[in-house]
Chains A and B, each alone.
Chain A
Amino acid sequence: MKHFKRFAVPAVGAALLVTTAACSGSPAGSGSGSSGSGTVTVLYSNNYVFNSDALATQWWKGIAKQWKAKYPHTKLVLQGTGGTDIDLMNKAAILFRSPSTTPDVIQLPTTYVAQFAGSSYLEPLNSFVHSSKAASFWPTMPAGVQNMSTIDGNVYSVNAGNNNTGLLYNKAMLTRAGVKMPWKPTNWQQILQVAAKVKAADPGVWPLWVAAGVAAGPTNVLQGSGNLIFGSSNTTMFDTKTKKWVVDSSGIRATLEFYQKMFKQGLGAPTSQLFRADAVGQPPLLLKQGKLAIAIGSNWYPSVWASPKSAAPWAAAKTAVGSAPFPTQNGQTPGAASTLGGWAYAVSKASKNVQGAEDFIALASSPANQLTTAVWSGFVPPSTPVGEKPLFINFAPPFQADFNTYAKYGVALPNNVNFPVYARALNTVTGDFAQNPNASMSAELARLSSLVSQQLGSGSVETLP
């Protein structure tokens, strides 16, 4: 999930464009040109998914060109829209209210698939993805990625790229604190200990970034508290059996205790940074500036440093920054944890050209297009073979390869229509600890429960061991 305009990577971009153009004649899926006629309308974000507006324009122009060559009799109408992911989704939700304004294909964050499917807005794609001829890309996507698109047995979207999480740290700052390189913590306590050493060695810096507060919306769960919950002894946020939200469990408590300890010891980033609307984009900048030592960060951070024309070019980042998987609470199996979030394409139920819409998805999911999407957006490609391609691995080395290995720990956030409510409640409580580390744990747990139940009813929450 992308969060701010980052940078342009013209050199790599040009190279990949050549590759894309070269691959454009190759079969993307059906290869049969089955869209006979008509129009296919695609609604997408033109300044949130890709690293820069220019790259978004370049990618979509490339797609339009490929489409014209492959389906000359079907008009492709591209509806790019600005703003954040929430802005795109609000616009889409309004467009979907009338069949006459509903696009055939929508680009959407994976966390919204359930919301659109739950609104009966999406066409199930079961027969499409299970057709080896039409969707050759589908078997190349691991089950975890396929499941992000699947609700109650129906496939409602096709993943276009993912973000996962790991630890990124400024090696020089940790070395000054006496930490041996490479650093690979095996439990949460070790992270706090190292953060304390950094603070002792250099009191003027912020040792540890863990996203907190409501400013960045559900993304703060994806890049913050969600990782802790998934690394705890109870990883459930939404109980699929009881259809209730977990507001108290050993996992929730451990997560909040981590926040409390971090802020109580003065190890966390200040609220002026955490509560910024663009907080999500700050850690890579702060790591470069030497103001931040460690971040629970996303796989896209390195793309901020990778190019001379990046938002924060940092040629030395490949040696100056280290990465490690984010460990589980006590080092328990599987040893590391990561949230998994991404973007996908879905077909609207109101589409008058479902075939054309599916053809578009097949084209966008071709290996070459997956690759350009991944590199230009800072995604892990959904298809495993694409993620293993040298062009992907060698972009912003060694981080792409590192985060590829963390992908196996990735767990998707709850694919549920009410996730935004739960996310805001969780973000409120983590923000409370950032503001007031001495807040009572029981009071904050009660607050989490009441914030969810106020919105969804008292029967919507539960406590787990």
Chain B
Amino acid sequence: MHKVKTNNELNAKKIEVFDALKKSVKNIDSNTHLRGESIYVDDINIRQGTFFAVVFDAPVAHGKIKSIDYSKAEAVAGVERIFTYKDIPGENQIGGILPDEPLFAKEEIHFWGMPIALIVAESEFIARKARALITIDIEELPVITTAKEAKEKNSFINAPRSFGLGNADKAFKDCDYVFEGETFSNGQEHLYIETQGSYVEPLENGNLKVISSTQGPTAVQKAISKVLGLPMHKIEIDVTRLGGGFGGKEDQANPWAAMTALAAYLLNQSVKLILNRHDDLRMTGKRHPYESTFKIGLTKNLKIQAYKVEFLQNSGAAADLSPAIAERTLFHATNSYFIPNVATTVYSCKTNLPPNTAFRGFGGPQGMFVIESAIAKAASELGIAPRKIQEANLFQENDVFSYGQIAKQVEAKNTWNAAKNIFNVEALEQNIKEFNASSSNLKKGLALMPITFGISFTNTMMNHARALVHIYQDGSVGISTAAVEMGQGVNTKLLQIAAQFFSIHPEKIKIESTNTTRVANTSPSAASSTADLNGKALAKACEALLSRLKNIVTEEFNASKETIQLKDEFVYINNEKTALTWNELINKAMMKRVALTENAHYATPVIHFDKTKEKGHPFAYHVYGTAVFTATVDCVRGTYEFDDVKIVHDYGKSMSQGIDLGQVEGALIQGIGWMTMEEIAFNKKGKLLSNSLSTYKVPDIFSIPKNIDILPLETEGNEMAILKSKAVGEPPLMYGIGAYFAIQNAIKAFNPNYKLKFHAPMTPEKVLTSLYAN
């Protein structure tokens, strides 16, 4: 019964994707990953005599330290030394945006898990045993765990921010329908499978070499420089790869590296600190929980005329990246919809949770969840399918975003229509209706989820990168950039760029580790922009080298430069192959003393943003897409599964379909996890209850949708994207929001009395309770 007619267009497209995948380039790290030979921080060869560290942290969420007794811990055989704030030669401060976060607690405790001391010992095991012997006396203070509570008590990180377009308050008066509501979206644990860690080796003259699992090598370098009071040039950060980051290692790799560096510097011996999973879960920040209130106004023909929302961001105990994340919530508050009158405000609320931080989407998902909730509420009250409202309000060319940017090369409608047609949404809807009419134990629900996501760091000054390219005299190439490889495949893309520019075999090219001595003053690998920024810098470097190489050919063959081309490791003139090979050309360059090294700098053009007006053009471009979800709810048990997720995604001109598809699938499942099963729980005293993998569940292989179809939207791509291949890291995470609404719609099919609630994640507990709510 729930069979969709054979769809020839869909089948043809699936075959196209399958063929493209077969041809597409594989991740260059595949072989070492699969053979267990890839090196992560905990795998490096350590220097003889290396010490191991464990962090001692606060056992309450808020309080004043009265006394700490380290004597029993210090007496344990094998314990070398215990470091506290007293040992810090520089500043006890690691705040990135605001200086409000000490490395080690001094007198006050602000969150459960706040680092107090570092125990350094001959083994991690000994350090852990010693930790258990430390006693601490704390005068406990009142604890704030929710954003709402913080706002009531005027506890904020900084001043609120507001974006506006038109006049929302006035516009509501002219609306035919106005609806109000509340939403909550919970935090999310990054659960990078490689926990936080660093290894620091002291070099001569008080210099330090730091191996860190960080997305932001320069941020780590700055943090260490501040804590140790050393100039940045004495500190070298090296990153080969991360075992996952997802934003969790953007700023929050800093404290562990700084502690390790402190110990290594003062002991003049190598020190390694790898957080065990429980410590990592307890001590690090997560995706921000948001509590929000909305008001939405529509006309009779379902045009959204006005939208007002107040976001309360639970920032945790220190700023970390919260202000920037709050800003992106405002940027994405209307998702894919053009709304002429918008008033959005966000408060970064200071609570006693670990400082929350970047997580794939960076505040965008939290903003989008609210507008989708508002639309769902309006649709439910009006007794229509939400997709009618969604469709009536999609962004069109030259519409303006609430932050002043004019929408160009908009694909919102194109992805929506493509998804609707290729996947035959109307037939799906009909099938679900029929299924629900005949099934009592199971009910199905459908939801569509369009996404529009801006690409660039919203802090304009961060949008730059550099690439250092060496062509060695044997024709092999080494490339250094600021890009950190964490599974997203950026190194593979960089290699593709160089291989394409020089037209040489990929095996001739090596992507070096990310190192602050080779590439300095870097922005973190974040904001989905790593391939764009570093790729563009690399392309510039390759172009400059190519130009110099062509000059040699010009001299040699007396040919004009425009006619020269490098192809498959040969020089071509006027499309004719010469006898001159790549290797010979490089050799000639050496003989002629031509520079075979280039350092290029790229800064994204056009973008700007004026924070005093909250207007500008912050994004290089936007990424679009539409997802169609079908969920089945087991009304006996309150469990659910996803039959189908069908997506049309705007890749631009993908450089590697295999890698990009992997990003879409991975982000989608992570988004579904955030919206359904991943439930962070703190008790009222601020203690993390979901403090292990047995209590915090992320999707496993059985919980993913039974069928996932992801098709590319055919477009010309965007010049601002590297080789017209659009950024892909974060945007697809927000498809996951569709999961929430598909489940809700299934619940409604069972329980007509059910009033929609917008309280994510939609756990089996909430599903069962909703199924049987009056």
Q: Is chain B found bound to chain A in the same assembly?
A: no
A-side interface residues toward B, CB under 8 Å? none
B-side interface residues toward A, CB under 8 Å? none
